[in-house]
Structure 1
Amino acid sequence: MLETLASDHGGHRSSSSSSGHTILAAFIPTFTSALLSLGLFLILRNRFLKHYAPRTFLGTVPEKDRTPATSPTGQNWFNDFWSLHNPFVLQHSALDAYLYLRFLKFIVFICGIGCLITFPVLLPANLFGVGKAEQLDALSFSNVDDNSVLWAHTAVAWVLFLAVTLIIARERLVLIGTRQAYLLGAPNSEKLSAKTVLFLNAPRDALLPGNLKSYFGEHAKRSWPVKDAGDLEQLVEQRKSAAMDLESAEFDLIARGVKSKSSGGNSSAAENGNGGAVPKAQRPSTRQPLLVGKKHDAIEFSRSTVADLAEKITSHRASPARGVPGQSGVFVTFDTQPAAHRAFETLSFKSPRIPIEDRYLAVAPKEVLWSNLARPVSVRMSKASLGLAFVIAFSIFFSIPVGLIGTLSNVQYLADQYSWLNWINDMPDWMLSLMTGLLPPFLVSWFVSYVPKLFRHVAKLSGEPTAPQAELKTQAWYFSFQVFQIFLVTTFSSGAAAVASQIIQNPQSAPDLLASSVPKASNFYLTYFLIQGLTSAASNVLNSSDLMEYLFYQHFWNKTPREQFTEYSRMKGISYGSLFPKFTNLLVIAIAYSCIAPLVLGFATVGLALYYLSYRYNLLYVCQSKIDTKGEMYKRALQQMMTGIYLAELSLIGLFSARKAAIQTVLIIVLLIITAILNLVLDRVLRPLELYLGVDTWQEAEIPLLADEENIDPNDEVALHTAAHNRRLGLDRLPKSTSNSLSQFFDSYIQSSREQVKVWLNGASAREEDVPKLSDEDYENAYENPAFTTKTPKLWLPRDAQGVSKQEIEENDRAGIKSTDEGASIDKNGKLSWEHDFEKVPIFSKPKVT
């Protein structure tokens, strides 16, 4: 039947495969684009070090954490790049940054292992599978017509999927040891945030300082209840905006004074009648309301606005209404990190029936989303439910444009089935190849690139208390979206579109038709990996859009010293919540197609390796991690990788069933059950170590009890450690020999990883200078909502020869607004210059490590 249907599957060019032409048509422009991007990068790199290598010199990066450079002008950077190792990122950047690089290397490794397992067996098996597919389709499952060949696919599936499952399990053990060494060692363990737990929905009595130890234990040291900020946050933001308007207007006044002097049109202060060097008619003005309102002197209006808002903020802060709600959040710091971890593990204020988290460990003040903290459980659950409902609805309806784009990859088949598409068959071969090869993956990439920004915004609105938690929710949502849209919808829309009319005419033939056409959808992913690996990776290094934006703002838009400093000192962040899901899904696609179209694994290996190199450069030279999930992102990504194995096994079950290969189908079903059981057991066993990192190292209290309960010699440290590890992993219910073996197996990887990372970090004693020291004021205000503590911004004006800046500083002081003209000046031609040594910039302050 398949042969008959294939022969009826249209004439013209569609009767034979065009997969080779499609790949070539996608490769030529993407390779050309990649070479162009890399060429421009090599030309521009040393000319714009601020954009391409800020981590080598920028003042916002502590000197000890800067990436070493052989030459200050950027020469020989390539040798520096290759000589540096990934642990450098762990030592001098952030845990998430290092783990992201490890994640990319890990998925490249899995794809490489997949190639070694599948290529020698499945490529020959598919090629000689008695089918009539041509070009690259001849190397896929669609060329197999003899069911006896399916034994090769079955055997490879068992070897590959079990191997990947075990490799992922091993990596999870390594990750536990890595996180333990980094987070539980100095200097991280000495941070205030490392010893602090955020408890939500705590009863009012627990928020009273006198009840601190009765609710949180003897090791509780201090608490910061979350107060009701009301409209304070809006008022503080308005004051900041008015202060920036004042600074901008005063800069304009200074610039006009300089120009007036240089043109010879300057008058004396007495003649101006306003005590200034600029005639009153030339002073900056504004209209309130904008455009249609009354005209005001911009400086006087903004100055009075700042003063009025400052007075109103002071009054609001002192209001009794700014107290603690009946049920609120509270930050509690403990005297040691182990005590904080134990409190996080044991204390809770939520009902077991409420499926929402109520406590968070090691929350840094800068990560807090203050507007979400004081909300009761009912509001948080409502917002979370609405956010989830929106994401589900959006993901479903987004399948319409993605599905339509997916059909483009098989538009030739559609043209033969529907007369109104006959014009497609008249297109030149090169144009048709571009339409079916390059256009679909490019459009999908472009459409999907805007989704994580939306999801991140919704995650913050859904009540998450911290930015890392919102980023983790973004990761979960975006991964589900990627699998549903980029894999499932695209695969089935591309494969089903080719045989839609035959299925309508003969529904009974649907399984056979899909079994032959769905594997051909892999051509979409071959070109998708080409675009991701070549064009996207190269453009990721060039980053031309950010360069053009920086040059535009720095040379044409930013005028005040603050604006120029802010733009110059800003470093590019990295959004792990969108990157981890994207590349996890690429691995899912590669694994899912591994036994159906093995070439996808090869393209994935090359494409992901190129992407790894581009991100390695960016994390060493360009990017700064601004959100710290403490390795949680990578942990979730490892758990999500199993989705690829499940989808691969389900796909093979469907394809084998369509071919009526009963024995092979049963064997893959058995494999699916085995991998699912292995994964579920692993999740249950490792959950305590992944969630409560400290329980694997702080065992002093339980060791004497274990010695008595299990009749172990108190001096036998190995036996005591094994027994404690068995209990923590829940293995103590198994026979002793089995539990000991599993415990030692798990512990060997965890301990080996932990010791390796400790070596990389050079031990706590080598980094004593990194242990943060907080002033008394910083400590008292550490976990206060900034709306209660933020001061009016200090204004930064450029110094001028006319003395206008000095005059404005005096006027601001009388209004209670601090300002300075140190570190910046404006010459007689109106050219602004400012001190690029950040230590001499009056508005720069080193970030407080909490």
Structure 2
Amino acid sequence: MSSTDLKPSSLSQLYSAALPNAVVFAVFITGFLLVRKKQPRVYEPRSSVETLPKDLQTEPSSSGVTQWLLNIIRKPHSWMVLKTGPDGFFYLRFIVVFVILAIVGCMLCLPILLPINITNGNGLTGLDMLALGNVANTNRYIAHALVSAVFFGMVVYAIYHELVYYTTFRHALQTTPLYDSIISSRTLLLTDIPKDLLEENELRALFPATANLWYSRDYKKLTKKVEERTKLASKYEGALNKALTTAVKVRGKAIKKNEPVPEPEDDLNKYLKDGKKRPTHRLKFLIGKKVDTLDYGAERLGELNREIKQEQVQFASASQTTSVFMEFPTQLDAQKAYQSIPFNKSLRGTDRFIGLAPDDIIWANLSSSKMVRRLKKVAASTVLTLMIIFWCIPVAVVGAISNINMLIEKLPWLGFLNKLPSSIMGVVTSLLPTVALAILMSLIPPFIKKMGKISGCITVPQVERYCQQWFYAFQVVNSFLVVTLASAAAGVVTEAIKDPDSAVRLVAEKIPTASNFYIAYLILFGLSFSSALLLQLVALILAQFLGKLLDKTPKAKWNRYTTLGQPFFSVLYPNFQMLILITIIYAIIAPIILGFATLAFLLVGSAFVYIFVYVLRPNFSDARGRSYPLALFATFTALYFAEVLLAIIFGLAKGWAGMGIEIAVVACTIACHLYFKYTFVALFDAVPISAIKVASGDLAFKYPDNDSGLKEIKHEGKNFWEGGNQLELTNPANVQVLAERNHSDGFTADSSSEKASVPAGSVSMGEKSSVVANTPGTVPTPGFFQRMFNPRAQTFEFLRSQMPVEYFNYIEYNTDFVRTAYADPAVRDDEPHIWIPRDAMGLSEIEKNKALENEVDCSNDNAGFDEKGSVQFLGPPPTYEESIKY
């Protein structure tokens, strides 16, 4: 039996992949449409959870099949930015950009390349006859090379267009009153400062505009106590709730059976087998002293509260490290200082950060020196690199399964597979590998994030970007390289054994046929993944069953009801980047993949629109879209693979003209990549001074549209130290954010976080802020083709006019918050509040008073028991502040 006889038809493989996914899609979509209006907490929590800030709440979606999507599409630009946050907005834009590229790619590649691939070819059948591998006449490769130059050029132009857009958008966003006034926009973090400059007088001499300084300090002892308190409070609250629940159920059971209830009714021990069933725990695992949780918890929590409070008052006496936070009165001052640091010789070894919210900081890494962080980074990179290598083994097995038919001749023990029906065989070789690959890759991100913290990342957004980069590396190596080469190698193993010298040539010839696997991969994402995203089966099960079984305290129930999920772009971007990589690499080799990619992108994008608007709230860690340019630059990886692979295929087939064109395309791509990095990377965190001045209404300045401020930023940085700043303020009244503000009358920020004041770029400030800025006037809207073909048509003024009106409110901070805003969380940690349900016997009142006597904050308000004796909340927690909702 020949290998050809063993090989299933590519159309059969496609059918076997499409049919199960189509069934899953139909079932999931039907389920979604049937239950989404019946389960608003699962499918429309942003319309049903009242504790969400009003600006983030959405109107209930329409009941039609697609009307909800049409309604969103009709919404203005500012509405989408407000509801999804800048990070969500740019992820959706990322999808839209490549939907357009896939559609244009279809219009370009299919009419030209499919006839060339099909006619007078190598006699391949099914989908294989549509691919490059069917071309017999190598002179035809010139057409493929020329089309690739045009298509890849469009991708490069799209990257440039979006980098310009993102840079201008971010500058417009940063100069809105909301972002201009938040403390993170006005605060710099400097790490590894020379010891001779650590004195406050020295720093203020360098940066005289500094308003507040916070030194990073060593709080190991305090942190240990805070961690003990947090852990003990959770254990104490859980045990107390469990004991009260047991008492209520024992009494209820006795009444139901007409049996005498325990006496006296207000003695908790009587409901716990005369105290024999009181909750206990050990102070150390296994070997520690066993203590009564209720008695010990109240007493020890009281002791910890007093000790921690005393140390928190004396927080400034702890030894300091070489990191310092510097708050400036305005973003203008902060940006001047930020841009100047690279041009001061004394600060050359200092790292600078801006835009860091207090709760986004990984405080443990601040105490490490630069050398230690570098060593940690090398160690983490080494571990992840080794993991990528060893992860290739299971992934290679998955890739080999897609072409397992070719191995049966040499591996007789696999012969039983030949007895399977062709449809089942198609599932084994097509659907099974794609599902297995998706499962394998889902196990990676949590480990990468852990390594990101170990590597020395300073902030949570940095860890997210670290994960985004490494997870994409995993995807590229394991989901593409290993799978493609394993699949191709499995297809030529028999021939390669007979003629080892032909191995490379045979693999190159078989790579185009590997596109069938990736077509199945796109089908999996387009049909099964998008519909599963909408159905949210796990969330539905948790809401209906597991939540009721797992949540035993009013706080747990309250948190489950009021806490909305958040998107993790460190995973979402690499997953979609992988789809883009597949599409770009095979766009010329197997152009039919562009059609499947278009469908997959549209379905996945539609699902994410729904999820971002109605289900998930914007992420608390507001990265202001910083993952977007990272994803754009990562697209060059796909371009390099596509171009080099085409050049190799042309070269092995001796299509020298096509190879020459492709090498020129590679050179142009490299040049564009380097130019984009030089032009844009420096602009992602810096804001041109002229942009801030224009936003403040100073007509003497103009936003630098020609280069988005690259030259100006360098010029400003140098002039800061020379005293010749040409953009210096001539009238302090033009400053957008007031340097002095009556903090007691405005918005009261949360005592531990900036998130309460600006949760992911969207806040309910209209009723709380006493200072409202004027929104920009009407700016002419550029036409579609003007926006498409002129990257700078959407000007700074235009994009600023497109910002949500809610972003044109200032934020004012409570002075108590500012005092410790950038101190370690251990310094800002509040005493834990114990929340227990009220009962008819008065047991919770007795336990509450015991806790209060030990100076432990405890309350039984707004919580009770239902008729079955289960805990329930009757209102918000007693510590819940109506003015701070997030």
The question of a shared fold, defined as TM-score above 0.5 by the shorter chain, is answered with yes
Per-residue CA deviation, residues 118-151 of structure 1 (Å, 9 max, x unaligned), is: 0001111101142111111000011011112212
| Counterpart for residue 673 of structure 1 | 667
| Counterpart for residue 441 of structure 2 | 448
| Counterpart for residue 304 of structure 2 | 309
State the shift of 1:281 in Å. Answer: 2.6
Work out which of the residue numbers 782, 785, 794 in structure 2 matches 1:752. 794
Per-residue CA deviation, residues 468-513 of structure 1 (Å, 9 max, x unaligned), is: 0111111111111111111111111111221123223323323431
Q: What is the alpha-carbon distance in structure 1 between the residues aligned to residue 608 and residue 247 of structure 2?
A: 48
Per-residue CA deviation, residues 687-731 of structure 1 (Å, 9 max, x unaligned), is: 33334233562579xxx9xxxxxxxxx99x889986995844999
State the shift of 1:282 in Å. Answer: 6.3
| Counterpart for residue 469 of structure 2 | 476
Per-residue CA deviation, residues 530-562 of structure 1 (Å, 9 max, x unaligned), is: 001100111111111122223334312212111
Q: What is the alpha-carbon distance in structure 1 between the residues aligned to residue 713 and residue 651 of structure 2?
A: 39
State the shift of 1:351 in Å. Answer: 8.8
State the shift of 1:409 in Å. Answer: 1.2
| Counterpart for residue 373 of structure 1 | 366
| Counterpart for residue 393 of structure 1 | 386
SS at match of 2:438: helix
How is 1:585-734 mapped onto 2 (pairs within 5 angstroms)?
Answer: 585-624=578-617, 625-694=619-688, 697-698=691-692, 727-728=711-712
Work out which of the residue numbers 157, 169, 192 in structure 2 matches 1:178. 169
| Counterpart for residue 860 of structure 2 | 821
Q: 1:395 to 1:678 in 2, by over 3 A?
A: same
Work out which of the residue numbers 190, 193, 218 in structure 1 matches 2:208. 218
Q: What is the alpha-carbon distance in structure 2 between the residues aligned to residue 247 and residue 690 of structure 1?
A: 45
Contact kept? 1:267, 1:279, Cα under 8 Å: no
| Counterpart for residue 70 of structure 2 | 82
Per-residue CA deviation, residues 412-469 of structure 1 (Å, 9 max, x unaligned), is: 1222344443333232211211111111111111100111111111111211111001
| Counterpart for residue 741 of structure 1 | none
Q: State, as a whole percentage, how many aligned pairs show the same letter.
A: 25
Q: 1:762 to 1:574 in 2, by over 3 A?
A: closer
Q: What is the alpha-carbon distance in structure 1 between the residues aligned to residue 423 and residue 34 of structure 2?
A: 32
Q: 1:508 to 1:291 in 2, by over 3 A?
A: closer
Contact kept? 1:772, 1:849, Cα under 8 Å: no
Q: 1:40 to 1:789 in 2, by over 3 A?
A: same
Q: What is the alpha-carbon distance in structure 1 between the residues aligned to residue 345 and residue 119 of structure 2?
A: 62
State the shift of 1:824 in Å. Answer: 1.4
Q: 1:129 to 1:639 in 2, by over 3 A?
A: farther
Indicate whether 1:189 and 2:180 are aligned. Answer: yes
Residue type at the aligned position of 2:879: I
| Counterpart for residue 532 of structure 2 | 539
SS at match of 1:416: coil
Give the length in aligned residue pairs.
803
Contact kept? 1:685, 1:730, Cα under 8 Å: no
| Counterpart for residue 432 of structure 2 | 439
SS at match of 2:275: helix
Work out which of the residue numbers 801, 822, 825 in structure 1 matches 2:840. 801
Indicate whether 1:843 and 2:879 are aligned. Answer: yes
Q: What is the alpha-carbon distance in structure 2 between the residues aligned to residue 323 and residue 348 of structure 1?
A: 30
SS at match of 1:226: strand
Residue type at the aligned position of 1:154: A
Q: 1:18 to 1:261 in 2, by over 3 A?
A: closer
| Counterpart for residue 36 of structure 1 | 27
Q: What is the alpha-carbon distance in structure 1 between the residues aligned to residue 847 and residue 345 of structure 2?
A: 59
Contact kept? 1:199, 1:329, Cα under 8 Å: yes
Contact kept? 2:354, 2:685, Cα under 8 Å: no
State the shift of 1:520 in Å. Answer: 0.5
Residue type at the aligned position of 1:844: Y
Contact kept? 1:182, 1:758, Cα under 8 Å: yes
Q: What is the alpha-carbon distance in structure 2 between the residues aligned to residue 615 and residue 767 of structure 1?
A: 24
Residue type at the aligned position of 1:79: Q
Per-residue CA deviation, residues 227-258 of structure 1 (Å, 9 max, x unaligned), is: 10114323212212212222223323433443
| Counterpart for residue 140 of structure 1 | 131
Q: 1:515 to 1:723 in 2, by over 3 A?
A: closer
Q: What is the alpha-carbon distance in structure 1 between the residues aligned to residue 610 and residue 487 of structure 2?
A: 36
Contact kept? 2:83, 2:613, Cα under 8 Å: no
| Counterpart for residue 339 of structure 2 | 345
Q: What is the alpha-carbon distance in structure 2 between the residues aligned to residue 723 and residue 799 of structure 1?
A: 64
| Counterpart for residue 117 of structure 1 | 108
Per-residue CA deviation, residues 266-325 of structure 1 (Å, 9 max, x unaligned), is: 4555995x8999774366331436778776433112112212333443465578996233
Residue type at the aligned position of 1:313: I
Residue type at the aligned position of 1:96: D
Indicate whether 1:503 and 2:477 are aligned. Answer: no
Q: What is the alpha-carbon distance in structure 1 between the residues aligned to residue 393 and residue 115 of structure 2?
A: 37
Unaligned runs of 5+ in 1: 1-7, 705-713, 732-743
Indicate whether 1:49 and 2:37 are aligned. Answer: no
How is 1:557-576 mapped onto 2 (pairs within 5 angstroms)?
Answer: 557-576=550-569
| Counterpart for residue 382 of structure 1 | 375
Q: What is the alpha-carbon distance in structure 2 between the residues aligned to residue 185 and residue 626 of structure 1?
A: 19
SS at match of 1:25: helix
Residue type at the aligned position of 1:759: S
- Deviation larger for 820-829 or 363-372: 820-829
Indicate whether 1:12 and 2:54 are aligned. Answer: no
| Counterpart for residue 234 of structure 1 | 224
Q: 1:135 to 1:193 in 2, by over 3 A?
A: same
Residue type at the aligned position of 1:685: T
Contact kept? 1:228, 1:322, Cα under 8 Å: no
Q: What is the alpha-carbon distance in structure 1 between the residues aligned to residue 692 and residue 241 of structure 2?
A: 58
| Counterpart for residue 325 of structure 2 | 331
Q: What is the alpha-carbon distance in structure 2 between the residues aligned to residue 678 and residue 724 of structure 1?
A: 17
Indicate whether 1:761 and 2:803 are aligned. Answer: yes
Q: What is the alpha-carbon distance in structure 1 between the residues aligned to residue 501 and residue 269 of structure 2?
A: 93
| Counterpart for residue 771 of structure 2 | none
SS at match of 2:3: coil
Q: What is the alpha-carbon distance in structure 1 between the residues aligned to residue 703 and residue 616 of structure 2?
A: 46
Indicate whether 1:288 and 2:327 are aligned. Answer: no
Contact kept? 2:215, 2:324, Cα under 8 Å: yes
SS at match of 1:536: helix
How is 1:478-497 mapped onto 2 (pairs within 5 angstroms)?
Answer: 478-497=471-490
Q: 1:487 to 1:252 in 2, by over 3 A?
A: closer
SS at match of 2:192: strand
Contact kept? 1:259, 1:830, Cα under 8 Å: yes
Q: What is the alpha-carbon distance in structure 2 between the residues aligned to residue 271 and residue 158 of structure 1?
A: 83
Q: What is the alpha-carbon distance in structure 2 between the residues aligned to residue 502 and residue 639 of structure 1?
A: 39
State the shift of 1:778 in Å. Answer: 1.1
Q: What is the alpha-carbon distance in structure 1 between the residues aligned to residue 574 and residue 708 of structure 2?
A: 35
Contact kept? 1:688, 1:728, Cα under 8 Å: no
Contact kept? 1:91, 1:760, Cα under 8 Å: no
| Counterpart for residue 763 of structure 2 | none
| Counterpart for residue 68 of structure 1 | 59
Residue type at the aligned position of 2:192: N
| Counterpart for residue 50 of structure 2 | 59
Q: What is the alpha-carbon distance in structure 2 between the residues aligned to residue 97 and residue 313 of structure 1?
A: 39
SS at match of 1:567: helix
Q: What is the alpha-carbon distance in structure 1 between the residues aligned to residue 133 and residue 199 of structure 2?
A: 69
After superposition, the CA RMSD in angstroms is 3.2
Contact kept? 1:796, 1:843, Cα under 8 Å: no
| Counterpart for residue 105 of structure 1 | 96
- Deviation larger for 560-569 or 253-262: 253-262
State the shift of 1:844 in Å. Answer: 2.7
Residue type at the aligned position of 1:306: L
State the shift of 1:667 in Å. Answer: 1.6
State the shift of 1:352 in Å. Answer: 11
SS at match of 1:805: helix
SS at match of 2:325: strand
| Counterpart for residue 158 of structure 1 | 149
Q: What TM-score do you get using the length of structure 1 for normalisation?
A: 0.88
Q: What is the alpha-carbon distance in structure 1 between the residues aligned to residue 561 and residue 498 of structure 2?
A: 65
